[in-house]
Structure 1
Amino acid sequence: MDPQRQKEEFQYAYVCALAAHAGLNRGQFQVDNDSIDITFQAKGHFGMGRIRSPMIQIQLKCSSQDLIADDVIKFPLKIKNYNDLRGEDVVVPRYLAVLLVPDNLDQWIANYDDHIVLFKSCHWLSLRHYGPTDNEASVTVGVPLMQRLTSATLFQMMDRASAGESL
């Protein structure tokens, strides 16, 4: 398998494990023409929100490059993805998730008799309030290391979506 495709598949597995732990359903569109790789949905009434069966959508990116500087991941995002993810005029909250993996494929997973460990870490960013740019090819966005994507974070994102908001 192509190394980039391996990264994509690994990240799907990573975020799907988080979503399963958070009790969320997952869905994917056959065609990714709106920069959405995966959608998560909660069933029925969720949290204290007013919106039933809330959803969130995520663009997945995975890299083994050293992109960390000043407590952020400096991620070069294609302008199409940037424009699709930014703005407040979408019904479903959208997020960018960047998974950092070791350069060596053999270090992505550690298997033990009683558990498995996935390496390394995934972080998220909302581009909801980002404005337009004059860039034509890409925009480097800063994904804070403190915004770690976890099952609890997915739960919080869904809770905010049920209230008609996003993080």
Structure 2
Amino acid sequence: MTDSRTGGIPQQHHAQVHYGVPLGHPGPQPAWVTASTGFGENGHRGDFGETFIRMLAAAANIDAARRERDRVGVDWQLGHPGRAGTMRYPVIEAQVKCTSSPTVHDEHIDFRLENKNYNLLAGREYSIPRFLFLVLAPSDPLAWSEATEDRLSVRRAAYWMCLHERDLVEGKKTDKQTLHVPRANLLTVESLHDLFAKDYRDMLVVE
């Protein structure tokens, strides 16, 4: 059964949510891992987080364009042609962060975001809705994915948050704000489409 909300993609009904296949003990590291001094460093984590979002966008039949210059506070611009009777070519933007050491509570995830990045997401003075996409990944890069002949599994999950109703903050750019990212905001094929809703465009005030 297809779902028009997701561009004809079949609805996904799962009795339980699985964030990947446990790998167990990975065994000895191959030579290419031990030879890499940067395996698992911040740049590697960031690349995995952005690829995670790109994969979700592809599954949702949404175009994802990477910003080549990081000067406007977003990493990806996402869009699709739209459907009959709706806004044509709607677009949203996202800043992607990836962490392997989140503080997870029952209802939310604590994430510390620098003032510079926070202020590039907060407020209403934008022409395009902006979101924070937070990707959670295991601390061991060898557990990030598992490929078999049947499937490719990636771990662990991504969540979204909108800051348009927040005020900008003062202080040093490197100071940090603690965000409580709702665990209910799990990023999926369906919820990614939901972020194109008119409600988020109505938050914006552009003169």
In the TM superposition, residue 48 of structure 1 has moved relative to its aligned partner by: 4.7
The answer to whether the Cα contact below 8 Å between 1:34 and 1:84 also exists between their aligned partners in 2 is yes
**Whole-Å separation in 2 of the counterparts to 1:47 and 1:132:** 37
C-alpha RMSD of the superposition? 1.9
How many Å separate the matches in 1 of 2:169 and 2:102? 25
* 8 Å contact from structure 2 (residues 135, 157) kept in 1: yes
Measured against aligned partners, the alpha-carbon deviations of 1:57-91 in whole angstroms (never above 9, x if no partner) come to 00000000132134211111010111110111211
Distance 1:29 1:120 in 2: 24
Q: Secondary structure at the match of 1:53?
A: coil
**Unaligned regions of 5+ residues in structure 1, if any?**
none
Higher-RCO chain (CA-CA 8 Å, sequence separation at least 6): 1
Equivalent residue runs for 1:109-148 within 5 Å: 109-136=145-172, 137-148=175-186
Q: Does 1:75 align with 2:115?
A: no
Equivalent pairs: percent with the same residue? 24
Deviation, 1:113, is 1.2
CA contact (8 A) 1:87 1:131 kept: yes
**TM-score, normalising length: structure 2:** 0.73
* 1:133 counterpart SS class: coil
* Counterpart check, 1:96 vs 2:99: no
Any stretches of 5+ residues in structure 2 without a counterpart?
A: 1-37
Q: Give per-residue Cα distances to partners, 1:96-140, cap 9 Å, x unaligned.
A: 011111111111101111101100010010001011334531111
Matched residues, number = 163
**Counterpart amino acid of residue 115 in structure 1:** R
- Hey, what's the Cα distance between the residues in 1 that align with 2:199 and 2:59? 19
Whose radius of gyration is greater, 1 or 2?
2
What code does the residue aligned with 1:81 have? N
- When residues 46 and 90 of structure 1 are mapped into structure 2, their CA distance, relative to the original with a 3 A threshold, is farther
Q: What displacement does 1:162 show?
A: 9.3
Task: Give the structure 1 partner of residue 98 of structure 2.
Answer: 62
> Given the superposition, is the C-alpha separation of residues 163 and 131 from structure 1 closer, same or farther in structure 2, using an over 3 Å criterion?
closer
Do structure 1's residue 19 and structure 2's residue 69 form an aligned pair?
Answer: no
Distance change (3 Å), C-alpha of 1:33 and 1:47: farther
User: Which letter does structure 2 place at the counterpart of 1:108?
Assistant: W
Task: Give distance in 1, aligned partners of 2:71 and 2:127.
Answer: 17
Determine the C-alpha separation between the residues in 2 that align with 1:40 and 1:22: 11
Quote the Cα distance in structure 1 between the aligned partners of 2:198 and 2:67. 20
Does the C-alpha gap of structure 1 residues 47 and 34 become closer, same or farther in structure 2, counting only changes over 3 Å? Answer: farther
Q: Tell me the residue number matched to 1:30.
A: 68
Instruction: State the one-letter code of the partner of 2:95.
Output: Q
- Alignment of 1:46 with 2:83, yes or no, is yes
The AA in structure 2 aligned to 1:46 is R
